A and B are shown apart, each in its own frame.
Chain A
Amino acid sequence: MSKRTTIDAKGAFCPGPLMELIAALKLVEVGDEIEVLSTDKGTVTDTPEWVNKVGHEMVETVEHDGYWSVVVRKAK
């Protein structure tokens, strides 16, 4: 059964939400999901751009009060 891991990268300037996501995906199984919480609006556009390029799957992007939740499923 797939599992979801959450990374709270709110206010993380370096290495930042997308780098955290890339590193975290290396540690999970195909089918597992990573949720990244980010206060950087750039995450909402950067993440799908990278996910499409590399071949993983976007699950959802949800706007909360002052931050975004971006969920990606490892596809390969």
Chain B
Amino acid sequence: MAKRILIVGGGLAGTIVANGLCRQIGPMLRSGAVNITMIGNTDTHMYQPGLLYVPFGKIREAELFREQRKVLDRRVPYFIDPATKIDVENKQVITESGKAWKYDYLVIATGSRIVPESIPGMAEGAHWFYDLEGARKMRDALEKFEGGKVVVNVNAPHKCPVAPLEVTFMLYDFFKRKGVLDKTEIMYTYPIGRLHALEPVAMWAGPEMDKYNIKYETFFNTKEVDPEAKTITSEEGSTLPYDLLVTIPPHNGQKVITDSDLGAGGWVPTNTKTLHREGSTDVFVVGDTTNIPISKAGSTAHFEADTIVDNLASLLMEGRMARDYDGKVFCFVETGMDSGTYVWFNYTTPPNPGPPSQMIHWFKLAYNRLYWLSARGLL
């Protein structure tokens, strides 16, 4: 009987696993010894980092999307049938249609979601760019903005950890070009005692913000937003007034994870090296879904997915694991509308970002297109 690989989730992580496996185990797929199936929630695949550019009118919405069927290798059947219960005891996934999908190996790639509704008043009073609807509303708000107090508010946990700094510096450039900077005050808040989780990035960001007269407050974890009074209050007891509130909302994993008792908050306890679900050798977890204490980012998903591809292919062909995930993360950092830098690190190598340049900004713009090659497993 064919070995069945079931991938739950059609985002970047699941798609790289599917496409990468097809490249490595082609003969086994042809002979019928193995089959790969993916189940997901939507017929489109979104390039999520592109959302950062939407509020500033720097990208066309259509550029963010491709048909998932076209991104995915044709040898992988794709079904839009959201998972409602992942049953690792009985090696099956139940979906909205009522179908039970049996597997020999399962890859959980369900990702994360923003939960602004978890903080009183945030959904009503704040703007964000972490989904398309929010990014569109933020674009409208920026168009109407004629000056005032802007608060950029960061909450834990969140994915794409450099995006809060990127949007802050991009807002500065946007207001300058719009001619409203002299009537605008930008305040940046961050949950821990420095301006970014990565110490070298925080050390770079402080003087940059001072240079641009961007104010900041650390140890700020949002307790509530008052959309009427236009104030935001922290658990630490600070209240800030705003005319425009841009938030990085807190994130959770997907409901199907908590509904299946696979992990608090929707984060699945995962071995940091093998990427096995803790307690399972036939279940891999990839991307934002893991509880591994590293950045939730597309690059993390990519490097983890590559590891799972190598290990699954080895298990199928030789009955052994091939290699460990080394914790690699790589992030471009936009430092304004025309400059950027990058940072990479892994479990043993600390980050050490270089000076920003226009060339790295162009690389990032190029990657906005090259992403589709990553998803196809070609890059």
- Measured between alpha carbons, how far is A17 from B347 in the docked complex, in Å? 13
* Interface membership of chain A positions 1-43, coded 1 if the CB is closer than 8 angstroms to chain B and 0 otherwise: 0000101110111111111101100111000000000000000
Residue of B118, B236, B329 touching A14 (CB-CB under 8 A): B329
A54 touches B198 (CB 8 A): no
Number of A-B residue pairs at CB separation under 8 A: 78
B197 touches A15 (CB 8 A): yes
A19 touches B193 (CB 8 A): no
For residue A63, CB closer than 8 A to chain B, the reply is no
Cβ of A23: which chain B residues have Cβ within 8 Å of it?
156-157, 250, 265
For residue B293, CB closer than 8 A to chain A, the reply is yes
Cβ of A12: which chain B residues have Cβ within 8 Å of it?
293-294
Chain A minimum-CB-distance residue to B300: A14
Residue of A13, A49, A50, A54 touching B351 (CB-CB under 8 A): A13
A22 touches B294 (CB 8 A): no
B193 touches A8 (CB 8 A): no
Which residues of B224-243 have CB atoms within 8 Å of chain A's CB atoms? 235-237
A13 touches B350 (CB 8 A): yes
B161 touches A14 (CB 8 A): yes
Q: A15-B161, A46-B192 are in contact. Are A22 and B221 (CB under 8 A)?
A: yes
For residue B191, CB closer than 8 A to chain A, the reply is yes
A53 touches B329 (CB 8 A): no
Q: How many residues of B contact A (CB 8 A)?
A: 29
- Measured between alpha carbons, how far is A55 from B236 in the docked complex, in Å? 8
B221 touches A54 (CB 8 A): yes
A22 touches B198 (CB 8 A): no
Chain A minimum-CB-distance residue to B157: A23
**Chain A's interface: helix, strand, loop or mixed, by majority?**
mixed
B197 touches A22 (CB 8 A): no
A27 touches B265 (CB 8 A): yes
Cβ of A28: which chain B residues have Cβ within 8 Å of it?
264
- Measured between alpha carbons, how far is A49 from B161 in the docked complex, in Å? 23
B220 CB → nearest A CB, Å: 10
B293 touches A50 (CB 8 A): no
- Measured between alpha carbons, how far is A15 from B329 in the docked complex, in Å? 11
Cβ of B192: which chain A residues have Cβ within 8 Å of it?
16, 18-19, 22, 46, 50
Which residues of B171-189 have CB atoms within 8 Å of chain A's CB atoms? none
B345 touches A13 (CB 8 A): yes
Chain B minimum-CB-distance residue to A7: B293
Cβ of A7: which chain B residues have Cβ within 8 Å of it?
293
Chain B minimum-CB-distance residue to A37: B293
For residue B295, CB closer than 8 A to chain A, the reply is yes
Give 24 pairs: A residue, B residue, CB < 8 Å, sorted on A. A5-B264, A12-B294, A13-B198, A14-B198, A15-B293, A15-B295, A16-B197, A16-B293, A17-B293, A18-B191, A19-B156, A19-B191, A22-B191, A22-B192, A23-B156, A26-B250, A26-B265, A50-B193, A50-B219, A50-B236, A53-B219, A53-B237, A54-B219, A54-B221
Binding site for B on A (CB under 8 A): 5, 7-9, 11-20, 22-23, 26-28, 46, 49-50, 53-55
Those 5 A-B pairs whose CB atoms lie nearest each other, nearest first: A23-B157, A12-B293, A15-B197, A9-B293, A14-B197
Further 7 A-B residue pairs, CB within 8 A, beyond A13-B198, A50-B192: A11-B348, A13-B345, A14-B329, A16-B293, A18-B193, A19-B192, A19-B197
